Structure 1
Amino acid sequence: MDAHATLISYNSLEEALKGDREASPYRMSLNGTWKFAWAKNPDSRIVNFYERDFDTSGWADMPVPSQWQLQGYDYPQYSNVRYPWIEHDDIRAPFAPVNYNPVGSYVRTFTVPKVWEDKPIFISFQGVESAFYVWLNGELVGYSEDTFTPAEFDLTPYLVEGENKLAVEVYRWCDGSWMEDQDFWRMSGIFREVYLFTAPGVHVYDFHVNTDLDEPCKDADLRVQAKIVNYDGREAGAVTLEAQLYDRGGREVLKQPIQMAGAFDDADSCEVAGAVQVLNPLKWSAEKPNLYTLVLRLKDGFGQTLQFVSCRVGFRKFEIEEGLMKINGKRILLKGVNRHEFSCDTGRALGYEDMLHDILLMKTHNINAVRTSHYPNHPRWYDLCDEYGLYVIDETNLETHGAWAFGQPEAEIVPASRPEWTANVIDRCNSMMQRDKNHPSVIIWSLGNEAWGGDNFVKMHDYLREQDPSRPVHYEGVTMWRKSDAASDIESRMYSPPRVLEEYALQQGPKKPFILCEYSHAMGNSCGGLTEYLALFEKYPVLQGGFIWDWVDQAIRVKQEDGTSYMAYGGDFGESPHDGNFCGNGLIFADRSVSPKLLEVKKCYQNVKITAEDLARGTFRISNGHLFTDLGEYDCKWTLSRNGEPVHQGRLAVEAAPGETVVVDLSEAYPNEAMLAEEYVLTFSMTLKETTAWAEAGHETAFEQFVLPVKTSTSEALSVEVAAAPQAEKRGNVLHVEGQRFAVEFDLTTGDLSSYRVGGTELLQQPMAPNFWRPSTDNDRGNRHPERCAPWREAGSQRKLAGLEWQTNLEEVRVSLRYALPTSPDSLLDLHYSVSGDGAVEVRGCLTPGLGLPEIPEIGMMFTMDPSFNRITWYGKGPRESYWDRKAGAKLALHSGRVEDQFVPYLRPQECGNKTDVRFATVTNAAGAGFRIEGEPTFEYNVLPYTPSEIERCDHYHLLPKPEKSVVRIIHKQMGVGGDDSWGARTHPEYTIYANQTYSFAFKLIAIEG
């Protein structure tokens, strides 16, 4: 059947206003248990299983919707670019694999409801991967491909009274699979809903709603077009379609319904259209998703109601004007994310609760746009985007990444300009457009992803613009083949570094609005440097945002025999080819829990900007970056903290229209003076005054912090008593330093601080040693950092003592060390320990790298403690991990936690758990004994149950050893995590530790007796 808008019939106005399609009496779900048989390839399938008398009672059960690879059949296969069949079938497009092309045979029965008698009966398959045949009662009904849009068939001619046998034969791959080479898990089956539906003999088959706003974006023209079919010709004649608009309260908006008259004459369908002006309706936007309900009532020539259908309507105007994309007349900034449909338990058979969870997380973390990468999503997703407010780039199910390469002749590329593929690609974009055309959330059509260029994309563009002039068309692939530039109304690129964006913005002459359809590749520990992108988006109007890659880690939860489970990625099922953990790119983890990356996104995407106008005088500027929201909808709260602990708080009455800035004075909140070692921080927090559909009142949408310039008093310093110097004694190869209730030992053969006891408790499990390595991240591996920076891997552990001196004076014992680091050429490290009478150990270091060495991953000291020392506190950025280039979303405060909870379960174990801008920190046991670390002035801090080498040795989280220690890293600097991409891009230079200068660091270690 021809593609059409998502709709269902209703019996009454009340049902139509409610709009619950699944509850319609005209719909019958076929979800549930089906009979199932699996075959390795087409030749071994059960050919005649569809016959009416074929007995399938002995077959296995298969839930629908589901994907058979997650039900014990076949294997899931994760591949990014390469076609999954290349190692077992040597084929070229358009041929499908034959040696290994599994076939799933599905069977179930149903009985048509009595109330549906004498009505046409249809079946809808919302998503089947990748191609299938349908039989009813032994008769072939039809065939379909295009995995991600509905396939519907007319079953009426094949129905019998009583029980009907429905048979479906699903192929893992087909000729259409050449168009579906997306970066995702390759799986199969009936993975979306299957249902029967019916309608009166004369019924609305399709309709299109357009809400065109006038130039000032105040009043609207509501236009309705509809296709009405006369299914069996028995009720030929005149019909009337009435369209009435209702507000959220169910009240009529139009004084009179739009009346649209039509007649069939000798045809089996007719087109009707009508329009009306709506004065100043509430407008739809992601900020204010105001929705109305349009109800269509179909009447016959005698005025009798035949059918109700309905849909939600949002009045909004999206256009490109003067080179900028605008929503309701205002320049839009897309703060977006790409979203694959995926669940770690059900694959692409995503449930409603998963979708709602995604929507709420996006809204509460300031994401305002989503790209349906790289195929049309489940219809419910668009309903949710309409209701909660997200801008959508709706993407055609088209990617041929494995069918082309840079420099390849155009004639060999699929689909390019090859005419045999034109109907295919037009059909794919049409199926998407027809289904989703009535959703206000859909602002842009996309032609697909990474399928190169060619005339076929220009034809797709022109077709969509002709069918739906209200939306621009997007396609990044024209950057590969500029001859196809007319295929995209938007300049769209992937993973461009910030400098490229600025170069585009500064180009002279007219240009298209620019977006990054993919950027800030969120693989593993990533999304560093996001602040730089947002600064450019705000600075240059033509740079209109981007979509982070991507939303959720695509990993599969595998249960083990002992009842535990782990997250599997490419290669874990013995499949080949595969692309390993490249599927782990999510801002949220595979179980849909929040990763620290999402907190950075929330901060960078916030719509309220707070800056100091005059920090010394206590005046601040609060700028409203919303397009349609006044700041009066928020509570502006402030908190004054001393060394991370709140001491005073209040709130400000702030009102500012969209785009406006107000100045507030908080000088009265400033403290008069601070004692030594006291720091005052002022935190602003913008929270919702009232509960919304997506968050409770009090939810924080934006924050900012300022360290206050407070006058420091010296009175405290005058009363400090200096403890007597500790005693030092050489005992063989050990320097023993002892004071009241503490003892410190240095190994004179290595220079290590090897023991630290306080009150009889040993604090060190392994000595303190210099460290210049962090566990490699996915981004590190992608840019060959582990190989390039290899000289630093063992530089600390393989150091050679080149000099040692120690001396004592009236205040302290000093131990001075010089190490030669085997970095080829050697680097030098000078360490100085000063042990004072109160047990404090001041550590000072100076690293002089050898000439020509690569960048340094980390500079700091590392030691281990007994696992009982599992409690940490820190006054610094938190509460989740932070990094040099990813710390905007962390708050400067006093935080605490347990060591085991600092490990972040990225899909592949890697560097994690770091804390930046730390002023002081502690590591203690249950009794409170341990260490306090103080910075001079700050340091980075990392305490995990594993050493860097242990983390690097394991490729899965569940393979890490049982925690038997607390590994403490006191870090002067650690390079940023980067994230422009994960296959070559390095950390931005400003967050890189280059080996071209000397680095000095210092901190103080103080024992806590408990």
Structure 2
Amino acid sequence: MLPVKKYWEDPSVLHVNCEKPRAYFIPYESYENALKGVRGTSEYFRSLNGIWHFKYYPSVYDVEDGFYNEDFSCEGYDRIPVPSNWQMHGYDTPNYTNVNYPFPCDPPYVPNENPAGIYIRDFYIDKNPDEKDVYLLFEGVNSCFYLWINGVEVGYSQVSHMTSEFLITPYLKQGTNRIAVMVLKWCDGSYLEDQDMWRHSGIFRDVYLLYRDKAHIRDFFIRTDLDKNYTKATVTCEIEFSAPDALNPGDFTVRAIVKDIHGNDIFDRTMSLSQKDSFEFEIDNAYLWSAETPNLYQLVLCHGNEVILQKFGIIKTEIIDSVIHINGKPVKFKGVNRHDSHPELGHVTPPDHIKRDLILMKRHNINAIRTSHYPNDPRFLEYCNELGFYVIDEADLETHGVRHAGDFCMLSKDPSFAEAFLDRMQRMVERDKNNPCIVMWSLGNESGFGPNHRKMAEWTKSRDKSRLIHYEGAFNEEVLKADSDNSCLDVYSNMYASIDWLENTFLKMENEKRPHILCEYSHAMGNGPGDLKDYWDLIYKYPRLSGGFVWEWTDHGIKTQTPDGITYYAYGGDFNDEPNDGNFCIDGLVYPDRTPHTGLLELKNVIAPVRTEAVNLASGEFRITNLYDFIDLSHLCLNWVIEKNGIRIDSGTIYDLNIAPHQSEIIRIPYELPERSDGRYFIRIFYTLKEDTVWAKKGYEIAFAQFELPTGSVKKITVIAPPFVNISKNGKSVKITGRNFEYEFSLADGCFTRISSAGMELICGKPSFTVWRAPTDNDRNEKSNWIRNGYDRLKTHIYTVEIIKETENSVSFKTTYSMGAYSMKPVLKGTVIWTVYGSGDIFLDNAVEVREGLPFLPRYGLKLVMPKGSEYVEFFGYGPHESYIDKHRSTYKSRFATTVTEMHENYLYPQENGSHYGTEWALIANALGFGLLFIGMNEFSFNASHYTPENLTEAGHPHELTKLPETIVHIDYKMSGVGSNSCGPRLLPKYQLNEREFEFKLRIKPVFRHDIVIDDIIREQIE
């Protein structure tokens, strides 16, 4: 028999002895301290963070009866930091699961083996506790907990990501006091917390005491409104006092001071108010709050011994003609989804960690955040207010796992869970209501839809009409069949909608006039996303499309070590956790340590607030469009650089960019084109900050664009190859020698087996054609098709090999071949002609026919292996980092020098990486300078790596890769795009290698890079 009531399986009991939810704020003893905004400096705040005594039990039923006695002895206990997750400290097992409940779906019941963690610590009260009301606050505990003070049971609470507050004055004594907390891993609330994340337990957010006057401001709500001209603001502050004996109007004296954004007093009044009251004032020519202009006023409330400072913003969010407007302007949400995630702390997110995330987002042009799928630490919102982010604040609610039980709406229509649904909404709204950054309240995520959601929306509308109501789950096709009455929602929201659906289905719905939000899109898993530009072209085209939130911000890897001490980031299954969803938690725009993925760089330039278009490249005219909603471009410089064949030859800066929001202007850049065409000329235009900001330094680049200048075609130079080709045959192969080279060509294999120049061997083994790439995460839905058709195991069959031409300065070989897998028809057939000239040049001309009815090819190209030491890389293509046909807007075409090692992008789940789209030539050489120069007859995709596609395919983590000393080179006719199909729509056809016939031409030249001018070589026309 348990000595505590079994609240954890009773949906009718959510909180016992908890205070009503209220706005987050900290009282201070002086305005000076309040202004600092550091709560630890308040005399009325006392943190209980630190080391607590801790004991873990595999089941709550294992907790000894002795724990519940009045002594609450912690003898024999371990020690654990608070806040923390106990799985990050060796107790229990970290478990990553996305949709599936990690226990049988039998609400409200949870497993009998329900782990419990007992936390105990002492704290000292040095004054008579009756002088003040003392409150104990827990900002986040997963999943539920019981509280004792000095051996007396105080209460119970659940809802992991919200604050629980207890008045503990009656239980305190002067001197040493003991707090005991029993946290359970599971409760009936766990059915409502089935988010795509690691399942961590414990006290994971801050714990602290607040000392309040007996009569104090319990809650307040700052409401703002604007006139029709969006210039004059009306501000209303509703106040509720805590004083049960107050019966008469005017019992509470409050001084309210309001300061504008410059610190000037604009309102100062002392008032006598009743227990629930309000006051109002107006602001003419108000400074408005937006993500671009995060103007914050200060409201100072002085009552008794307490000073409360609340920064607030004046913002009006509304829908006008089916378009979301903020302060009268149509806006686009350039957002991301953000989980609380730390590679070493789990769900614990210290303030500096939160700030780092937000500053990094700001630097990458992100202006909006969805708190997926629960409210964040309250200080997160304070930082969003200050830095400028639009926030969709989402209730701690997801019941995704009930889908596998056969009814996605099971809990959303279950009356026994109605109060729990509503409670999660109320607690979020009440806590966060004074933050101007919040533009939408979200009813949760992927929880079906039903009466319980409607109650949440109705209550929220009654409490706060200033924000929009969001919920994606009501628009799920499966849900619409069960409950189509989603009129309580202000926006139409869905996930991973295809571009075709948005344009040709949603925008043509006759009875749907709401604006649209992509609450999740462009799944950023691994090497991706690759469809950002296509989405944003569409979003800018149609005003009703209000933008979207990329899934998601960060990879949720847990930093751990192998038994032999190798550090790596773990994902689902690495701890033998069941059920698990593998590496599906490694799906962010940044690595766990917040190093940006190339996908974040892509997002930055696609959503950049400045658009550059060529009007007349010959005369240097460009149309510059300001895509900001509220500010002009005067804070930016326009910088331009002109390169000839990748080498800078001219540059300049334009400082006066006073283009108004949503306006365009044609600007002339003062350059002159060359009189004759003597190279490839590109101009890169980039925009940088004029002055330091709180998130970036002066000179930081915001956006860029590149254009090729119309200088005409460079005249080819005809070069007659030297007549020094000697051929000797031995039946199986042909040896070709020239002035400084020696090659061997196999008549059995139809390819070269040796390429040597100046006695230096430049290849290992035989070059081959290939279609396989190590599947990216976004290939996961194509991978099975590729394997089913044998793409991963194609063998080359040689039909014929013949010498078709011999002259004194050249020899040509013709090979016919097919590529196929066992038991299947060939995937493709080809005819390749190899020509060797006396100059040492090798020309490849490959005509390919792909069998009808096959899925698109991952790639098609030439693969060869170069010897150990072939580390130096130089190329002319899209760089400096990896680029693909649908993911190259963060790169530009130029001449880059790097190394094979540096080209590798070390994704936490190994996959195709490091390729370069639109390459025109590439050089790979050893330290001495000897190597191979690859010149495309057309642009190609290029990759050089110390890992084969097979290595990358087989490995599950980077530490499982074996770095080869040789260099694996891929020169691809084409590489299919990367897309976002791990969770999003299929790769767009225009990015698929789905041609049934094509021709691949390539020139290969052994070189000593110190003795050549590449620009001259690529102009050569060999005869």
Fold shared, TM-score > 0.5 on shorter chain:
yes
What one-letter code is carried by the residue in structure 2 that aligns with 1:477?
G
1:793 aligns to what? 792
- After superposition, what is the alpha-carbon deviation per residue over 1:951-990, rounded to whole angstroms, capped at 9, x for unaligned? 11111211111333211000110111111x4158421101
Task: Report the AA paired with residue 230 of structure 1.
Answer: A
Counterpart amino acid of 1:416? Answer: S
1:159 aligned to 143, 168, 172, which one?
Answer: 172
1:97 pairs with 2:114:
no
Measure, in 2, the Cα distance between the counterparts of 1:707 and 1:725. 39
Aligned residue number for residue 735 of structure 1: 734
Task: Provide the C-alpha distance between the structure 2 equivalents of 1:631 and 1:384, rounded to a whole number of angstroms.
Answer: 24
Distance 1:779 1:656, change over 3 A: same
How far apart, in 2, do the equivalents of 1:542 and 1:176 lie? Answer: 36
Matches of 2:307 and 2:68 in 1, distance apart? Answer: 36
| 2:853 corresponds to | 852
Write the distance in 1 (CA, Å) between the matches of 2:900 and 2:566.
22
Distance 1:901 1:856 in 2: 27
Tell me if 1:32 matches 2:50.
yes
Alpha-carbon spacing, 1:23–1:249, altered in 2? closer, same or farther (3 Å): farther
Q: Deviations over 1:9-61 (max 9, x none)?
A: 11112122222223211111111110111111121123442544243132111
Which position in structure 2 is the counterpart of 1:455? 451
Deviations 1:574-594 (A, max 9, x none): 111111111111011122111
Contact 1:581–1:908 under 8 Å retained in 2: yes
**Deviation (angstroms), 1:120:** 1.1
Paired residue for 2:288, among 254, 274, 283? 283
Equivalent residue letter for 2:803 = E
Superposition pairs of residues 278-317 of structure 1, within 5 angstroms: 278-298=283-303, 305-317=304-316
Question: Residues of 2 paired with 1:28 and 1:575: CA distance?
Answer: 38
Counterpart of 2:675, as a letter, is N
Q: Does 1:170 align with 2:183?
A: yes
Equivalent positions of 1:700-715 (< 5 A) are 700-712=701-713, 714=715
Matches within 5 A, 1:220-231: 220-230=233-243
Which residue pairs with 1:374 in the alignment? Answer: 373
Distance (Å, rounded) in 2 between the aligned partners of 1:260 and 1:54:
48
Asked if 1:666 corresponds to 2:707, the answer is: no
Amino acid at match of 2:159: D
1:179 aligns to 2:177 (yes or no) = no
Q: Which moved more, 1:643-652 or 1:991-1000?
A: 991-1000
In the alignment, which residue of structure 2 is the partner of 1:10?
28
Alignment match of 1:253 (pick from 243, 266, 283): 266
SS of equivalent to 1:910: coil
More deviation, 439-448/38-47: 38-47
Contact 1:684–1:704, Cα closer than 8 Å, also in 2: yes
C-alpha contact 1:214 1:220 (8 A) present in aligned 2? yes
Tell me the alpha carbon deviations over residues 724-757 of structure 1, each in whole angstroms, 9 at most, x when there is no partner. 3432222452321222222222122212212112
In structure 2, distance between residues paired with 1:463 and 1:167: 35
The 2-side partners of 1:806 and 1:113 are apart by 100
Deviations 1:691-750 (A, max 9, x none): 111111111111111011103464x737x5643343222245232122222222212221
Whichever residue aligns with residue 331 of structure 2, its letter is I
Q: Which one is further off, 289-298 or 227-236?
A: 227-236
- Match among 122, 129, 132 for residue 119 of structure 1: 132
Shift of 1:113: 4.1
Separation of aligned partners in 2, 1:359 and 1:874: 35
Equivalence for 1:816: 814
Find the counterpart in structure 1 of residue 571 from structure 2. 569
- State the match for 1:611 in structure 2: 613
Q: Which amino acid aligns with 1:793?
A: D
Letter in 2 for 1:272: D
Change (3 A) 1:94 1:674: same
Counterpart secondary structure, 2:793: coil
Q: Deviations over 1:803-862 (max 9, x none)?
A: 332533243222221112226433211222222222222222111112333321111000
1:774 shift after superposition: 0.8
Amino acid paired to 2:378: P
Report 1:962-977 matches (<5 A): 962-977=963-978
Query: What are structure 1's unaligned runs of at least 5 residues?
Result: 264-269, 299-304
Q: Could you say which residue in structure 1 is the equivalent of 2:8? A: none
State the Cα distance separating 1:667 from its structure 2 match. Answer: 6.2
| 1: CA distance, partners of 2:53 / 2:328 | 54
Q: 1:499 offset after TM fit, Å?
A: 0.7
Residue 206 of structure 1 aligns to a residue whose secondary structure is strand
**Stretch of structure 1 that moved more, 424-433 or 654-663:** 654-663
Please state whether the residue corresponding to 2:869 is helix, strand or coil. coil
Distance 2:447 2:67 in 1: 38
| SS of equivalent residue, structure 2 residue 978 | coil
* Structure 2 Cα separation of the partners of residues 469 and 601 of structure 1: 33
- Equivalent residue number for residue 1013 of structure 2: none
In the alignment, which residue of structure 1 is the partner of 2:59?
A: 41
- Residues 930, 1009 of structure 2: 8 Å contact kept: yes
**Match in the other structure for 2:414:** 418
Of the candidates 545, 549, 557, which is equivalent to residue 559 of structure 2?
557
Task: Report Cα offsets for 1:413-442 as digits up to 9, x if no partner.
Answer: 432222211111111001000111011111
Do the aligned partners of residues 922 and 114 (structure 1) sit closer, same or farther apart at CA in structure 2, a change above 3 Å counting? farther
Measured in 2, the distance between the counterparts of 1:167 and 1:250 equals: 44
Identity across matched positions, percent: 36
One-letter amino acid of the counterpart of residue 316, structure 2: K
Counterpart Cα distance in 1 of 2:259 and 2:403? 50
Q: Which residue is 1:778 aligned to?
A: 777
User: What is the letter of the counterpart of residue 295 of structure 1?
Assistant: V
Task: Indicate the residue corresponding to 1:443 in structure 2.
Answer: 439
Equivalent-residue separation in structure 2 for 1:740 and 1:609 (angstroms) = 53
Report SS of the residue matched to 2:452: helix
Residue 634 of structure 1 corresponds to which residue in structure 2? 636
Do residues 430 (structure 1) and 426 (structure 2) align?
A: yes
Answer yes or no: is the 8 Å Cα contact 1:260–1:272 preserved in 2.
Answer: no
Partner of 1:835: helix, strand, or coil?
A: strand
Contact 1:758 1:1008 (C-alpha < 8 Å) held by counterparts: no
Specify the SS of the correspondent of 2:423. helix
Instruction: Look up the match of 1:465.
Output: 461
Q: May I ask how many residue pairs the two structures share in their alignment? A: 982
Closer, same or farther in 2 for the Cα pair 1:405/1:57, shift >3 Å? closer
- The whole-number CA distance in structure 2 between the counterparts of 1:805 and 1:115 is 103
Q: Distance in 2 between matches of 1:767 and 1:738?
A: 18
User: Which runs of structure 2 are paired with 1:881-900 in the superposition (5 Å)?
Assistant: 881-900=882-901
- The C-alpha deviation readout for 1:598-620, integer Å capped at 9, x for no partner, is 01101111111111113344321
* Conservation of the 8 A alpha-carbon contact between 1:447 and 1:460: yes
Where 1:425 maps in the other structure, the secondary structure is: helix
- Residue matched to 2:911: 910
* Residue 234 of structure 1: how far off its partner (Å): 13
Greater alpha carbon shift after TM alignment, 159-168 vs 799-808: 799-808
Secondary structure of the residue that 2:603 maps to in structure 1?
A: helix
The Cα of 1:510 is off from its aligned counterpart by 5.7
In the aligned structure 2, how far is the partner of 1:576 from the partner of 1:405? 16
Residue in 1 that maps onto 2:752: 753
Deviates more, 1:227-236 or 1:158-167: 227-236
Q: CA deviation at 1:995?
A: 4.9
Q: Which runs of 5+ in 2 are unaligned?
A: 1-18, 1011-1023
One-letter amino acid of the structure 2 residue matched with residue 800 of structure 1: I
Q: Equivalents in 1 of 2:486, 2:521: separation in Å?
A: 21
- 1:144 equivalent in structure 2: 157
Residues 155 and 563 from structure 1, CA distance in 2 versus in 1: closer, same or farther, beyond 3 angstroms? same
Letter in 2 for 1:512: R
Q: 1:353 to 1:740 in 2, by over 3 A?
A: farther
Aligned pairs (5 A) from 1:258-269: 259-263=270-274
Separation in structure 2 between the aligned mates of residue 818 and residue 247 of structure 1, nearest angstrom: 79
Matches within 5 A, 1:711-730: 711-712=712-713, 714=715, 717=717, 722-730=721-729
Distance 1:1002 1:868 in 2: 24
How far apart are the structure 2 equivalents of 1:950 and 1:409?
Answer: 42
Deviation at 1:563, TM superposition (A): 3.0
8 Å contact from structure 1 (residues 870, 899) kept in 2: yes
1:267 aligned residue: none
CA distance in 2, matches of 1:114, 1:505: 66
